[in-house]
Amino acid sequence: MATIGESSYLFGVRDRGAQEIMVEAGRPGWILIGEAIGHDPQDLRSGVYDDLVESGCGVIVELVNSYTGEGSLPRSDAYDDFATRCANFVRRSSGCHIWIVGNHPNAAAARPDRGTEAEETITPQLYARCYKRCRDAIRGVPGHKDDLVLVAAVAPFCSDTSYPGNRRGDWVRFQQDVLLLLGPGNYDGVALHAYTHGNDPALVTLDRRMEPPFSDRQTDFRTFEDLVSVLPAKLPLFITDARPLAGTDATGWPTNHAPSEWVQAAYRTVHLWNQDHSDRQVRSLILYRWRAEREEDAPWAIQDRPGVIEDLRRALANDYRWSLPLQPEYRAVFLSQNTPTKMTAGDTIKVPMRLRNEGTRTWLAGGANPFRLASRWYDTENREVLVSVAYHNNLPADVLPGEETELMARVMSPAAAGRYRLRWEMVHEGVTWFGRKGDSGQVVTVEVLPAPLPRKPPLEDVSDELPRHPTRRYASRSRETIKTLVIHHSAVPPSVDAWQVARYHVERENWPGIGYHFFIGPDGHILQTQPIEAISYHAGEIGNHEGVGICLSGNFTHQPPTDAQLAATARLLAWLLNDLNLSLNAVRGHSDYRDTQCPGLTWQTIWRAPLLTAAERILEEARPPEPTPKVLHHYLLFWQNATQWAVEEWRGAEAYIGQFRVTAGFSVDDAMHAEYVTIVGGPWGVTPDVEARLRAAGCQVERIPGETPFQIKAILDEMAARRQRFLTLK
């Protein structure tokens, strides 16, 4: 469970000295050392913690710029220097592999240049920027690539730092915003602090809420529960500062000789929490602190308080340990994935994935019940949304427990535009989905944009699954060389599927693969069987080079295709003609290239004309309306509804509007008269349908993304500072 430099016990104290008490009790816990390292990149000073490790204790080092008013972090223009300083410190230190970057970033006392005109507020955006650079630098040091770099603990009960989206300065929201900005997988754990307002042990278990505006927050030690509630499951959590606060009615740790039982109550409370929350284990409860290095730390110098030491000794009589959950049967960890945050409705894309098998079962790539990677879509009401093709992606090989695998996973987006959650999830075919066994999968928020007209029809890409020649491959061409769409029939019963046709082409004809680019079944289901850039064999030398082969399953010598086949073929033709910038005259039959009856004797007499008419109708419906005259240059469009409007986003755009003097408002009709439209916020405000209307009106449109008004303000402020009017538009 615990490796060298870690402890399996909850017990811990800040500063050297208390380790002797813990070791004597047979409970070698944690020692936290605070290091004020500055941000001079040439400073090579370091620390040695081997003595603590040799005693069996776990070691955590808190790296700050300063503890004496110069800022827990330096100014933001020195973050690179601070990251270099952290890496230099880690490189030359020994005995530690757990680090905390900064302390109490939401507290005014932690700000650089505190009390001067140059004072800089540490927003979640700034902390996330500094943390990422420091984490990358630390884990880039040889021998430290697997170190835990913890996100700094916020100061509970502290509302010093407010910003758009968090006007009340909520410390829990501050922590949540930091993690949202970093993104899943980009932080290793979180430090937490838990205090009581006085040293009465009853305050440790007290379940009482604060006064407004924080009536949703705990008043005392159980503040750690508020913080843990917004953290992902299975994230390493460390309470790195636990103490009774000092104030007008309290003196910090009690000064009497009798044990107060505060320490015992705190450890018992966290132990019970761990018993009930196997997926949110707290790994340490570190008391603040053994000795007073500064005068202001005197109320918490445990070495001068025999009653507190005795309280700790009695707590150490308990075997309080944290533990990882038992290894599950089905568990997948997504090490990397590049799912785009925007997709087009009804489109199919390929996403590179890297996963690790952290379950006890081997993922078999073949057999009657193979393991595959699948996906599911959910709307904003958490209802599952079905798509035309729900891909179950094959694994390249068996994956043993603890092993990793890489694959290109296909996924089709929903047909309707909107904001969705895409959940990647492993499935044991015919047995279970991993989610039913407690696996969290990988969830990504995706904005599905309206598909351009004519819409791409639902089609399943099986080009990587069909039989192919062991050595031969089709040559490739550019899309610009494609001049025609060539219709074929398979000339065999429709029960002969694309796999059988591909096997015939490969094994009997010795072709590199199936000769067609698309294969349409009698039910109208469209398969893409080759990339359209492939010069496949289907229509003779000229037809192969300039044509896209579209095969309808069945023999149409005496009867035409089914209505479903014809409707699907018309949609496919309309989409391809538009996508390749071809006219309706580009649609040919196989018999136009070679002396053959393909695509059947009924092609010319029965179904050619209706097919082309149907495709032409789809193209006509897709033609955009006349553009609206543009009398405005640039319009900043905010959301509103019957009861609310984007007040926080409006305030957050002040610097941007001041920089560019842009027209701003809430009217879609007014925005249609602008050459450029910038939509402020995600699709939950100004919907994708409105965005589609603006584009249809000839506007050039982009969005300022962001989950919260704070994130939107950060983007707009940065654009204003850079004098960058647009994110993506030219």
Which pLDDT belongs to residue 257?
Answer: 80
The answer to whether domain 459-622 and domain 632-722 are alike in fold is no
Distance in angstroms (rounded) separating the CA atoms of residues 728 and 230: 33
On the question of pLDDT at 628 being above 80, the answer is: no
pLDDT (average), residues 248-260: 78
> CB-based contacts of 176: which residues, under 8 Å, 6+ apart?
230
CATH class as words, domain 11-315: alpha beta
pLDDT bracket for residue 503 (50, 70, 90): very high
**Residue 628 has which token pair?**
């609206």
How many helices (DSSP H) and strands (DSSP E) are in the chain? 19, 30
CA distance 185 to 442: 11
Contacts of 141 (CB under 8 A, 6+ apart): 87, 90, 91
pLDDT at 576 over 90: yes
d(CA 243, CA 6): 22
Instruction: Give the per-residue pLDDT at 1.
Output: 46
Tokens 């057999």 correspond to: 367
Q: CA 547, 550, 555: angle at the middle one, nearest 5?
A: 130
Give the pLDDT score at 272.
95
Q: Token digits for 252?
A: 């910090």
DSSP 349-406: EEEEEEEEE-SSS-B-SSSSS-EEEEEEEE-TTS-EE--S----EEPSS-B-TT-EEE
Burial class (CB in 10 A: 0-12, 13-18, 19+), 324: middle
CA distance 704 to 248: 48
> How far apart (Å, rounded) are the C-alpha atoms in residues 144 and 135?
10
Q: In a 3-state reduction of DSSP, which class is residue 364?
A: coil
The pLDDT value given to residue 51:
94
253's tokens: 């740790």
DSSP state for residue 436 in the 8-state scheme: G
Q: How far is residue 714's CA from residue 180's CA, in Å, rounded to a whole number?
A: 13
Task: Judge whether residue 249 has pLDDT over 70.
Answer: no
Least confident of 59-68, 146-155, 520-529, 696-705: 696-705
On the question of pLDDT at 2 being above 60, the answer is no
pLDDT in the model for residue 307: 94
Model's pTM, two decimal places?
A: 0.54
Domain spans of the chain?
A: 11-315, 332-449, 459-622, 632-722
Residue 23: CB partners within 8 Å, gap ≥ 6?
A: 55, 56, 57
Nearest partner of 39 among 88, 5, 2, 94, judged by Cα:
88
- List, for residues 228-242, the tens digit of each pLDDT value: 988 988 899 999 999
- Spatial neighbors of 660 by CB under 8 A, at least 6 apart, are 634, 720, 725
The CA distance from 601 to 604, in Å, is 7
DSSP 158: -
Tens digits of residue pLDDT in 527-560: 999 999 999 999 999 999 999 999 999 999 999 9
Q: What is the pLDDT of residue 652?
A: 92
* Cβ contacts of 276 within 8 Å, gap of 6 or more: none
Query: Mean per-residue pLDDT for 254-265?
Result: 89
- DSSP one-letter string for 231-282: SPTT--EEEEEEEE-EETTEESS--SSS--SHHHHHHHHHHHHHHH-TTS-E
pLDDT of 279 strictly over 90: no
Task: Please check whether residue 47 is in contact with residue 37, taking contact to mean a CB–CB distance below 8 angstroms.
Answer: no
332-449 is classed in which CATH architecture?
A: Sandwich (2.60)
How would you write 585-604 as a 3-class SS string?
Answer: HHEEEHHHCCCCCCCCCHHH
The CB density around residue 34, as the number of other CB atoms within 10 Å, is 17
Beta strands in 77-202 (DSSP E): 98-101, 148-151, 189-196
Query: Does position 325 have pLDDT exceeding 70, yes or no?
Result: no
Token code pair at residue 591:
């018999």
Residue 3 confidence (pLDDT)? 61
Mean pLDDT value across residues 629-653: 90
CATH number for region 459-622: 3.40.80.10
Q: Is 632-722 in CATH node 1.10.8.60?
A: no
Distance CA 142, CA 135 (A): 13
C-alpha–C-alpha distance, residues 79 and 63, integer Å = 13
